Every structure is written in C-alpha cells, then in structure tokens.
C-alpha cells in the first residue's frame, strides 16, 4: 500500500508551478537522491 501511495503523491505537489521536484523520504528521512534537484523516492518505496 505504501509503494502505491508514494507514486500517487508525486503528481499532487508538482501541479504547483513553484514546485520543481518532490522528495519522498522513508522513516529514517532518506531518499534515493536526497540532495539532488530531481524527483526522488526511497528505493524501498518505489513500486
């Protein structure tokens, strides 16, 4: 369920023109590319 939700969440904030990228962090606060200028989901949350 969490994996599906992570993918479904990304388009919501990207609808705002001021949002350049979205980071979906795991419980430890990490993402696949936490400091990059790109959309990033932690590997364990990707479908």
Report pLDDT for 4: 58
Q: Which tens digits make up the pLDDT trace of 4-45?
A: 567 777 788 888 889 888 888 888 888 887 787 888 877 776
Report pLDDT for 33: 78
Q: Look at the chain and count its residues.
A: 47
Domain boundaries, the chain: 2-45
Alpha helices in the chain (DSSP H): 2-9, 11-14
Contacts of 3 (CB under 8 A, 6+ apart): 45, 46, 47
Q: Which bin fits 25, alpha (ψ -120 to 50), beta or left (φ > 0)?
A: beta
Tell how strand 23-24 and strand 40-41 pair up: parallel
Q: What are the backbone angles phi and psi of residue 14, rounded to the nearest 5°?
A: -70, -10
């Amino acid at each position: 369920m969490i994996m599906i939700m992570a993918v479904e969440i990304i388009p919501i904030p990207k609808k705002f023109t001021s949002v350049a990228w979205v980071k979906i962090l795991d419980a430890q606060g990490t993402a696949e590319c936490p400091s990059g200028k790109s959309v990033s989901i932690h590997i364990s949350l990707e479908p």
